[in-house]
């Protein structure tokens, strides 16, 4: 986008801010009376969570992981580093292992007294992994707009609300998570991930080492996101209808990535 044309940029920011909020507040309003642990879970919420799981799985496998691998490799090349060890894959694997390593530490003060009591369905490390990966994904998408990008962002907002409601978070916490996701979209193309062209300047965030740090953070977030997605797909609902909905969510992400204008998911940091 040209620096002298701020109008479309501001419109993009507003739309990227409001779309995930609107798509996420819809499920939040429909299931505001749902209280996990007070009875049988809502069958409709479980089925819709399968669709959200497909959206997240497609986002992880088709966008976040390939983009992280490409970004880490490009950052290493800019530093003239060519390690023999598969460093990009190691960073992704480390991110995948971080949530299960951090969960016992985070949940220890609230551990249930009985050893057979079920753990809390959504731990802080899992929620942080979801928000970090999705926020970075929204931010790195840039200030441009396309129907495919808007479709994907809206599906992520709705999926985040459904998964967190299904995991047992209260509506205020879900609304706060949606706000974090929306702010990540509003910062798309900003100086932190997209350089300084849109916000002006931003040279203080440049440099090959800063690019490597962003790529490593993106890889850790992508690996943790994959763990949370694979861990929290509701297995009880994965019958015929649930499996079809999961495939539908995966197919939606495939179509959004195929129809997205501009840079694809493998484009590294500039």
Highest mean pLDDT among 30-39, 54-63, 168-177, 236-245: 54-63
Confidence band for 90, pLDDT divided at 50, 70 and 90: very high
pLDDT tens digits for range 7-27: 445 666 777 778 888 898 888
pLDDT at 15: 78
* pLDDT tens-digit map of 229-256: 888 766 666 678 888 988 999 999 999 8
CB 130 within 8 A of CB 180: no
């Amino acid at each position: 986008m040209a620096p002298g044309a701020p109008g479309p940029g501001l419109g993009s920011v507003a739309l990227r801010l409001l779309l995930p909020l609107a798509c996420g507040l819809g499920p939040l309003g429909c299931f505001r009376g749902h209280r996990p642990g007070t009875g049988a879970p809502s069958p409709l919420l479980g089925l819709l969570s399968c669709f959200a799981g497909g959206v997240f799985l497609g986002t992880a496998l088709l966008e976040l992981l390939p983009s992280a691998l490409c970004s880490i490799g490009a950052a290493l090349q800019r530093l003239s580093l060519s390690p023999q060890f598969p460093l990009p894959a190691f960073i992704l694997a480390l991110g995948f292992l971080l949530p299960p390593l951090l969960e016992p530490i985070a949940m220890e003060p609230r551990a249930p007294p009985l050893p057979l009591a079920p753990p809390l369905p959504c731990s802080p490390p899992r929620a942080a992994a979801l928000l970090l990966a999705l926020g970075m994904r929204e931010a790195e998408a840039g200030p441009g707009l396309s129907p495919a990008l808007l479709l994907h962002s809206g599906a992520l907002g709705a999926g985040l609300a459904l998964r967190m409601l299904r995991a047992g978070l209260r509506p205020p916490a879900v609304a706060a998570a949606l706000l974090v996701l929306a702010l990540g979209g509003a910062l798309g193309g900003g100086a932190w991930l997209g350089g300084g062209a849109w916000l002006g300047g931003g040279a203080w965030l440049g440099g090959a080492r800063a690019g490597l740090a962003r790529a490593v953070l993106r890889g850790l977030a992508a690996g943790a996101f994959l763990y949370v997605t694979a861990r929290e797909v509701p297995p009880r609902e994965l019958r015929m209808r649930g499996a079809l909905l999961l495939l539908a969510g995966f197919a939606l992400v495939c179509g959004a990535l195929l129809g997205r204008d501009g840079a694809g998911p493998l484009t590294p940091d500039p």
